[in-house]
Structure 1
Amino acid sequence: MADSPQVDVVRRFYGARGDLEVIRSVVAEDARWDVTEGFPRGGVYEGLDRILGDFFPFLADFREFGCVGDAYYEDGDQVIVLGRYVGRTAGGVPVTSRFAHFFTLRDGRITQLRQTSDTLPIARALEAGAGTGA
């Protein structure tokens, strides 16, 4: 079964892996990110420039970091994804953490992300990586 257009947009966002051109093509200029406290740079970000400039720099703490969607649920302009973050900190520590992402889309672009995740594995991995001297 083919993905809906909304799920396809979310999959493209996950596949961007930090590629700003792809992110700008799927995220609206007036987007709002609501990121769980305890997640690196957790908080609320209004506008694509703030999302890219103030939130996405957390990626510098990782050699690799990605979103793996395990289940996608779509209802109109809403897409819910249950999945996991998978990565390796800048200090070389592997990390996996579960998440739930609640996306709202408009005209084929993401206008809102509400994120919740298990922040403890990420915090522990970053703390352990900081002790490696890397």
Structure 2
Amino acid sequence: MDRSSPQIDVVRRFYDARGDLQVIRSVVAEDARWDIAEGFPRGGVYDGLDRIVGDFFGFLSEFEEFACLGDEFYEDGDHVVVLGRYVGVTTKGAAVSSRFAHFFTLRDGRITRLRQTSDTLPIARALDA
């Protein structure tokens, strides 16, 4: 779906950052909270942008390539829901594709919360390969 709103545009910038910390820091609030599904690499709750970047994003070191691809975007006020796919290749050369749903909350044009759910089994299998 090709939807657009100021809130969706912020979330799209987050996805398009592809690990660029300058862009991520420009769209994610300092007091953000990430709630990542159990079973996902480094799943758990992360409070604050520094913990999100320093602790959670460390899982990317297990991948040669990794991307979050948003397929459908839905907005309701300060909330954006994205249905999409993780795609990547692990450092061991295993390809992976896994569906996700991301539930974002925004405040003043910045992401303050991400609640993530995903099909973690394909990622776990690829990392164990």
Normalising by the smaller structure, the TM-score range is over 0.9
Q: Answer with 1 or 2: which has the greater Rg.
A: 1
In 1, are the aligned partners of 2:3 and 2:73 still within 8 Å (CA)?
Answer: no
Q: How do 1:9-88 residues align onto structure 2 when only pairs under 5 Å count? A: 9-88=10-89
Percentage identity across paired residues of the two chains: 78
Could you list the runs of 4 or more consecutive aligned residues of structure 1 that deviate by over 4 angstroms after TM superposition? none
The alignment of Structure 1 onto Structure 2 pairs a total of residues equal to 128
RMSD: 0.9
Give the Å deviation of 1:14: 0.4
Match of 1:111 in 2: 112
Q: TM-score, normalised by structure 2?
A: 0.97
Q: TM-score, normalised by structure 1?
A: 0.94
Match of 1:120 in 2: 121
Q: Give SS of 1:37's match.
A: coil
Residues 39-94 of structure 1: CA deviation (Å, up to 9, x unaligned): 00000000000001110000000001111111100000000000000111011111
Q: Give SS of 2:65's match.
A: strand
Structure 2 portions without partners, runs of 5+: none
